[in-house]
Structure 1
Amino acid sequence: MFALQLGHGVEMRPLEPWQAAEFAAHVDRVRDDISPWIPWAATVTDTDSARALLELYATRLASDAGRIYGIWVDGVLTGGTVFRTFDPAMGNCEVGVWMGRSGRRRGLVSAAVRHMIEWAVGERGMARVEWHCDPENGPSVATAKRLGFTCEGTLREAFVMDGERRGVQIWSMLASEWRAAQAS
């Protein structure tokens, strides 16, 4: 099985449908931490709904259109990352993240996303990696900046969550920018 060590006792590995019960329990633990920003925090409420989301990403993986990974700290699922979209023909992908409060401020999301960008650009030849977030999500904005993404703008009132129209900030990292940053 694939597992990437992000630090002592911390690993990133694929989340698969057979892990639906563990994923559902994780979402229950972190729901209050992520629900302001992550739409599926409201819809993953039991093992069946967790399995449905993981099956969606299994289908995306099978068609090379997305992936989902968990981050385990000392054996406990604490957060994760996704290639929400992945388009090899166009050379574009979008990375997304979530993290429960217990895993925050440890650099785990940044470490995981760096590996994802390196793989997307270095192995898969992606020309552009995007980061989308609510402009009110300060930690997400700070992570995008820390990783070296460039803010391209905000799509005002671009989606509805909890009955409220929200904006989406679009950040990007071009392959040339990633390579230059890694070389320096």
Structure 2
Amino acid sequence: MYAISLGDDGAELCPLEPWQADEFLAHIDRGREFIGRHNGLPDIITDLASSRAYLQAYADKSAADTGRICGIRLRGELVGAVILRRMDLAQRTAEAGCWLEPAAAGKGLVTRACRVLIDWAVEERGVHRVDWWCSSGNAPSIAVARRLGMTREGVLRESYLYRGQRHDEEIWSVLAPEWRAAKRSAARPVP
């Protein structure tokens, strides 16, 4: 299995596959309440069969080139993931997402992992636009969108029914030319 280093702290980005369903379920169980505050994943991943089915759905998306899932590992332990929920190469669009266990939050892991995944989508797959949808109440997700250089495009008021309550959803995005310009700017040496 391959891994992409996310820095000197032992963080890596790795593929997640159906054979890792046990580990994925254990990861969701560790973060179930925290992840479930804004993400319906813990309501979907409830046992080994649903864990395997979820990872298989992403294996199928990967094979069809319509999505991806990558695990975030910290010193070897699975602590989160980044995804391309959908990827439409004919339209050259994708939608990114993420989650983390509470013990891994606040370390910049999602931002670093998303940079790798978005860069792959833009540079390797030719994606022109990457969307980021999140609840208006999810301040950490909004902060990631900002750190990724995304632009807030709007709010869909009370558009998302989650656990019996309506939530506003924010739509953020970054376009390939903006992504590349930000990379060039970050790569310039400081005088």
How high is the TM-score relative to the length of structure 2?
A: 0.93
Partner of 2:67: 66
**Corresponding letter in the other structure for 1:147:** L
Say yes or no: does 1:30 pair with 2:25.
no
**Structure 2: which 5+ runs fail to align?**
186-191
User: In 1, Cα distance between the equivalents of 2:75 and 2:44?
Assistant: 27
User: In 2, Cα distance between the equivalents of 1:55 and 1:118?
Assistant: 24
RMSD: 1.0
Spell out the pairing of 1:166-177 with structure 2 (5 A cutoff): 166-177=167-178
Spell out the pairing of 1:124-135 with structure 2 (5 A cutoff): 124-135=125-136
Given that 2:35 and 2:41 are in contact with CA atoms closer than 8 Å, whether structure 1 keeps it comes out as: no
Q: Could you tell me how far 1:116 is from its partner in structure 2?
A: 1.1
Q: Could you tell me how far 1:159 is from its partner in structure 2?
A: 2.2
Partner of 1:15: 16
Q: Could you tell me how far 1:2 is from its partner in structure 2?
A: 2.5
Partner of 2:116: 115
User: In 1, Cα distance between the equivalents of 2:34 and 2:56?
Assistant: 24
Partner of 2:97: 96
Partner of 2:189: none
Q: Could you tell me how far 1:127 is from its partner in structure 2?
A: 0.6
Partner of 1:4: 4
1:69-120 C-alpha deviation (Å, 9 max, x unpaired): 1111111110110000111110000110101111111111111111111111
Partner of 1:84: 85
**Corresponding letter in the other structure for 2:2:** F
User: In 1, Cα distance between the equivalents of 2:102 and 2:37?
Assistant: 13
Q: Could you tell me how far 1:164 is from its partner in structure 2?
A: 1.6
- Percent sequence identity over aligned pairs: 48
Given that 2:85 and 2:97 are in contact with CA atoms closer than 8 Å, whether structure 1 keeps it comes out as: yes
Partner of 1:43: 44
Q: Secondary structure at the match of 2:82?
A: strand
1:25-74 C-alpha deviation (Å, 9 max, x unpaired): 11000011110111111221111111111111111111111111111111
User: In 2, Cα distance between the equivalents of 1:13 and 1:92?
Assistant: 23
Q: Secondary structure at the match of 1:60?
A: helix
User: In 1, Cα distance between the equivalents of 2:97 and 2:107?
Assistant: 17
**Structure 1: which 5+ runs fail to align?**
none
**Corresponding letter in the other structure for 1:121:** V
Given that 2:153 and 2:172 are in contact with CA atoms closer than 8 Å, whether structure 1 keeps it comes out as: yes
User: In 2, Cα distance between the equivalents of 1:63 and 1:159?
Assistant: 28
Q: Could you tell me how far 1:131 is from its partner in structure 2?
A: 0.7
Please list every run of at least 4 consecutive aligned residues from structure 1 whose deviation after the TM superposition is greater than 4 angstroms.
Answer: none
Partner of 1:143: 144
How high is the TM-score relative to the length of structure 1?
A: 0.96
Partner of 2:182: 181
User: In 2, Cα distance between the equivalents of 1:156 and 1:60?
Assistant: 30
User: In 2, Cα distance between the equivalents of 1:42 and 1:152?
Assistant: 29
Q: Secondary structure at the match of 2:132?
A: strand
